[in-house]
């Protein structure tokens, strides 16, 4: 049967990889809607190739430019704009599956709308789960939505867990081992990383990704966000998730069982594998990823993460254990600090300082509604922006 897909964040790194996999299987998948923020030309090209019913951008001016481009090229796709339009294409009754690949907190509302509509969710947008994990997982349970992780580590863990896994109690799972490449600055000290530039931070040794997640990978905040993501997805306490630095990025994560077995998922570092896995689950489809050549790889190494050089991981781990809205504040402060670093307003090592200071200074509360989460997110953004203003060079 044909799966009808809405792809949120089509023009990004995950979006493009998703379209690459989908293009290999025109008999199985069709696109209902593609969305972007402001890359109108790229989105128009994608519409020409995949002929969706709708294409959504963030503002009216971009939508009008997109609509003209589409008309000129004889494409019947209708251009829409704004958050309401994102929610509409994420929950339309014609849609079976939503790929959530918008970066950052902007992905929360459309993704949650898709969850509430009971869609199959392919979740790349980890920030949505980090900032609103409790509400998000409650909504998944209430709607019966199928939630499949795209993040390579979580997709690996999902593949290594028993079918029908709900939590660790009855399954014999004792620990999740979350792989980390260590990023481009593995082995360096905090002092050595002070003068790192945005381009250096975005040059990941193994993965090609958007700039925000690339910076997160360089600070190891990405692994901290993933630790929180793993706790929500697999109903695990933070103490039972251990980060293992594995520079080759071949083992994408592991599950340890109480009989001493450890199951791992391996593959070349290419997001088309988890994307194809989640699209076809529980079946398997070809993804375009080359076969793994173990003889070529020859060795796999493992290290403990250096928490002194990469304080973001320790800060995120503490936020995971604190609970309440600590992760919401962490995520918001990190998004603001990463943007300030990319804009060359603060240094690389100041990202951790801004996040930690924001967390220390904000009072925590238990977020019981989406509005409460959004308010905590907003206040944390204002707070960290004020901290950055004082640091501004």
Instruction: Give the residues lining the site for ligand NDP (CB under 6 A).
Output: 9-15, 36-39, 58, 101-103, 106, 124-127, 151, 207, 209-210, 212-213, 271
What is the spatial distance between Cα 30 and Cα 101, in angstroms, rounded to a whole number? 17
Select the span of 32-40, 71-79, 152-160, 363-371 touching Mg ion (CB under 5 A): 152-160
Query: Edge to edge, what strands does the sheet with 251-257 contain?
Result: 241-245, 173-180, 251-257, 262-266
Rounded Cα gap, residues 213 and 130, in angstroms: 14
**Choice between 92 and 168, CB closer to ligand NDP:** 92
Q: Is 90 or 160 the residue whose CB approaches ligand NDP more closely?
A: 90
Our CB check for ligand NDP shows the closer of 209 and 333 to be 209
Q: Which does 38 bind (CB under 5 to 8 A by kind): ligand NDP, Mg ion, none?
A: ligand NDP
Q: Where are the alpha helices (DSSP H) in 234-365?
A: 272-280, 294-297, 311-322, 326-342, 350-361
CB of 211 to ligand NDP, least distance (A): 6
Which is nearer to ligand NDP, 81 or 357 (by Cβ)?
A: 81
Residues 159, 153: Cα–Cα separation, whole Å: 10
Q: How many CA atoms lie within 13 A of 375 on its CB side?
A: 10
Q: Compare residues 53 and 181 and give the one whose CB is closer to Mg ion.
A: 181
Residue 207 binds which entry of Mg ion, ligand NDP, none, CB below 5-8 Å type-dependent: ligand NDP
* Bond preceding residue 282 cis, omega within 30 of 0: yes
When CB distances are held under 5 to 8 angstroms depending on the partner's kind, the choice from ligand NDP, Mg ion, none that residue 5 binds is none
Strands 173-180 and 251-257: antiparallel
Q: Which does 218 bind (CB under 5 to 8 A by kind): Mg ion, ligand NDP, none?
A: none
CA 320, distance to chain mean position in Å, is 17
Choose from Mg ion, ligand NDP, none: what does 58 bind? Cβ within 5-8 Å by kind: ligand NDP
Q: Of 52-60, 150-158, 200-208, 381-389, which part binds Mg ion (CB under 5 A)? A: 150-158
Tell me if residue 156 falls in helix, strand or coil: helix
User: Rounded CA gap, 311 and 380, in Å?
Assistant: 19
Q: Which residue has the tokens 């379209």?
A: 19
Which residues fall within 8 angstroms of residue 132, CB to CB, at 6 or more apart?
108, 112, 328, 367, 370, 373
Q: Residue 21 or 220: which CB sits closer to Mg ion?
A: 220
Q: Scan residues 179-198 and list those touching Mg ion (CB under 5 A).
A: none
Q: Which does 213 bind (CB under 5 to 8 A by kind): ligand NDP, Mg ion, none?
A: ligand NDP
Taking the least distance from each CB to Mg ion, the nearer of 92 and 151 is 151
The C-alpha angle with vertex 226 and arms to 360 and 182, in degrees rounded to 5, equals: 95
- How far apart are alpha carbons 215 and 114 in whole angstroms? 28
Residue 114: CB atoms within 10 Å: 30
* H-assigned helices in 51-91: 60-72, 83-91
Secondary element (H or E) of residue 308: none
Residue of this chain nearest to ligand NDP (CB atom): 12
What tokens were used for 348?
A: 């690389």
Q: Is 151 in the site for Mg ion (CB under 5 A)?
A: yes
Residue 271 binds which of ligand NDP, Mg ion, none (CB < 5-8 A, kind-dependent): ligand NDP
Q: Which among 79-87, 145-153, 161-169, 237-245 is the span making contact with Mg ion, rule CB under 5 A?
A: 145-153
103 binds, among ligand NDP, Mg ion, none (CB under 5 to 8 A by kind): ligand NDP
Question: Does 270 participate in binding Mg ion (rule CB under 5 A)?
Answer: no
- Backbone dihedral angles phi then psi of residue 94, each to the nearest 5 degrees: -75, -10
Nearest to ligand NDP of 168, 250 (CB atom): 250
CB-closest chain residue to Mg ion: 151
Measured from the CB of residue 371, what is the shortest distance to ligand NDP in angstroms?
19
Please give the distance of CA 101 from its chain centroid, rounded to a whole number. Answer: 7
321 binds, among Mg ion, ligand NDP, none (CB under 5 to 8 A by kind): none
Interface residues with Mg ion (CB under 5 A) are: 151-153
């Amino acid at each position: 049967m044909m799966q009808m897909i809405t792809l949120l964040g089509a023009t990004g790194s995950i979006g493009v990889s998703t379209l690459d996999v989908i293009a290999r299987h025109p008999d199985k998948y069709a696109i209902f809607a593609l969305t972007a923020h402001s890359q109108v030309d790229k989105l128009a090209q994608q519409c020409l190739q995949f002929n969706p019913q709708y294409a959504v951008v963030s503002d009216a001016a971009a939508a009008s430019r997109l609509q003209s481009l589409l008309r000129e090229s004889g494409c019947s796709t209708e251009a829409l704009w704004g958050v309401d339009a994102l929610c509409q294409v994420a929950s339309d009754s014609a849609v079976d599956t939503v790929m959530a690949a918008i970066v950052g907190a902007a992905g929360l509302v459309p993704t949650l709308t898709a969850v509430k509509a009971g869609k199959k969710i392919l979740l790349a947008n980890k920030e949505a789960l980090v900032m609103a994990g409790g509400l998000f997982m409650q909504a998944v349970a209430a709607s019966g939505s199928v939630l499949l992780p795209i993040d390579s580590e979580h997709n690996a863990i999902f593949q290594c867990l028993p079918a029908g896994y709900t939590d660790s109690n009855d399954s014999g799972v004792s620990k999740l081992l979350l792989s980390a490449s260590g990023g481009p600055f593995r082995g360096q000290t905090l002092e050595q990383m002070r003068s790192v530039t945005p381009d250096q931070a975005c040059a990941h040794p193994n993965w090609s990704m958007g700039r925000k997640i690339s910076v997160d990978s360089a600070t190891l905040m990405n692994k901290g966000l993933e630790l929180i993501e793993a706790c929500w997805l697999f109903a695990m306490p933070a103490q039972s998730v251990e980060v293992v630095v594995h520079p080759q990025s071949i083992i994408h994560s592991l599950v340890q069982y109480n009989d001493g077995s450890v199951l791992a998922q391996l593959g070349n570092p290419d997001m088309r594998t988890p994307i194809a896995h989640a699209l076809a689950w529980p079946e398997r489809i070809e993804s375009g990823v080359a076969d793994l050549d173990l003889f070529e790889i020859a060795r796999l190494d493992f290290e403990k993460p250096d928490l002194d050089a990469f304080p973001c991981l320790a800060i995120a781990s503490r936020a995971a254990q604190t609970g309440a809205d600590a992760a919401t504040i962490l995520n918001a402060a990190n998004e603001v600090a990463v943007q300030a670093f990319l804009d060359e307003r603060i240094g690389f090592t100041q990202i951790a300082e801004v996040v930690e200071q924001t967390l220390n200074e904000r009072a925590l509360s238990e977020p019981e509604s989406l509005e409460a989460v959004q308010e905590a997110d907003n206040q944390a953004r204002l707070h960290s922006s004020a901290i950055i203003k004082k640091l501004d060079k």
